[in-house]
Structure 1
Amino acid sequence: MKNKQFLIKDIAEICGVSISTVSRVLNKNGRYSQATEKKILAACKKYNYQQNVIARSLRTNSLKIIGILVPDITNPFYAAIVKSCESYFFKNGYLTIVCNTERSFENEQRYVNALSNHIAAGLIIISNQRKLEPTNYNLTIPIIYIDRSPAPLQNTLMILSDNYGGALAATNYLINCKADPYFITTPTTEASSTKERIRGFKDVLKKQHIHGERIITLNNTSDELVNSPQNINNTQLINILKNNKNKIGFFTVNDNVAFAVVKLAIYMGVKIPDQLCIIGFDDSPLASLSVPQITTIRQNIPRISSLASENLLNSIKKRTISQSPVIIPVSLVKRDTT
């Protein structure tokens, strides 16, 4: 008996009750006496019986699993959102499945189709899709999109930081620092968050009558650069650092890129912030751990995560879900690089 794995029918047999009675007690629904409840719970504890969560969910059509899809789990911004959402759902009786899509449209689509097929009750997605079509996914469950805003579909909600407003604040601050502004991004320029940051940057330049090519696109992703900042090999960027006689201002698409640019500038002997000002985006731990510490646009991760989790749970419980995007304010955090 010591190594036996007890099933629900074993507990029912030990307690002298039906399987349905054990199920009612464990799921806290239906009618049963206090004495029966006490006996069943004591037997479950004694024999270390645990319910099969997936099997129970399939029987009751009340799934207690949430899927969370992120482009790269090693990215501090994504990891912080996952941690916060996981904590919320765990407190509310849900387990989570975290899926690392590796920035692949195909991986994301496979995960969504699999999880929406009787496994997950709902999904939180930081998407790689540029545009969602109804035929892309077998959408049978509610979805909350964070950070990226593909075209909205039925029973979905977008929760986004104010990327445009953050870009305005960053670019204006560089100009106020008397720095000649440039925007540095990675190959993933199709993401809606990146597009909004570029739009804000360009609008400030237009208003200030600043002309010329000022968008620098690197060859590496931000996650690659943070691990190997020496891999920046962009001729345009290096020439600006070498030849620009005025103070330069770099607004980068995120803190990982800002960190890599800081390392490159130090290697090239460029003085920060006297000759070069740098502003990142996210306020990831890297921004404050960097030497010098990086000025950045802070995204409100606790607010983003709580709104995403609360709205998804409300939708799962058949309450109304707003179809309009929710825009979360951001703030400028001033540090050593400006």
Structure 2
Amino acid sequence: MEPAPPEFDLIAQLWAPLTLGAPGAFGLKDDVAQLSSAPFGHVVTCDQIIEGTHFLPSDPLDWVAKRLVRRNLSDLIAKGCKPIGAFLSVAWPKSRPYAHLADFAAGLGQDLAELCGACPLLGGDTSTTHGPLVASLTLVGVPLSAAGQPILRSGAQAGDLIFLTGTIGDPFLGLQVRLGLMDGQGLEGAVSIALAPSPPPLAVAAIIATHAKASIDISDGLLADAGHVAAASGRALELDLERVPLSAEARVFLDRAQPPVEALLSLVTGGDDYQALTCVAPAEAKAFASKMKALGVQISQIGVCRDGQGLNLFFQGERLDLPARTGWQFSGA
């Protein structure tokens, strides 16, 4: 196995090019980075990926890095913010060749440049481990709203319309196929998406910042994350599951499944969709949807906010009981 170069050579070869010449990175030759001042301050999000938990050991390393970027970027987009800097921490297994780390860096750099609006890498840390690959990315952003505030979970009001970008369920389906738990015939597109689900384009952040009252990215699962908005806002979120946008692959899955409502519930609780769920006042809804469509973003109204508490589900005109599991949650067990 090819040995890794000395630390500072590794930084110069793999990470320094990802700074894109940002002056605050100091060429990654110092112990700190400096952020330029922002009129309303900065927002920060951080997510990690762990081999065997968030990705399979056989996954291509460039796509693993892209998954890491997209987990973080979806948070900022849903909050109406744009990224201005990234910090990376990697624990690299001694059992993996150095060439794989170069693949990881290439994927990271590509998504920071293309999806994050030429966001520079400003710093971080690389170490080795006898355990699995673990990587953590911190994205620093700035809010795009006129008030200079991120669009939080807590702003939904009774009467707001609930919108969802993109489609739901493909990452769940793709993972089931990859784990050998589901027949993959007709689900090839979902398998590809599952490697690194794509969030909405960065330009969506400005639309959310302008029009949304509350917003969240769909990472734990549509039902779980809608429930987070309901709890934070002190409102009831009413969702019509028939309106949830699905891909052609997800429709294939539903056509095979019996009963279909159980299959649909698996899609809306699967997670890792990285789409944005937003609550928009009726007076803003037309402009909001028109701007999304002008970007080529699929946008669907899937429900409405009401006075009350919690999450209310409807399917074919009938109210459904919430499933015991609405999405992913941390378990110390």
Q: Which TM-score band (shorter chain)?
A: under 0.3
Which protein is richer in strand relative to its size? 2
Q: Which has the higher contact order (CA 8 A, sep 6+)?
A: 2
* Structure of greater Rg: 1
Which protein is richer in helix relative to its size? 1
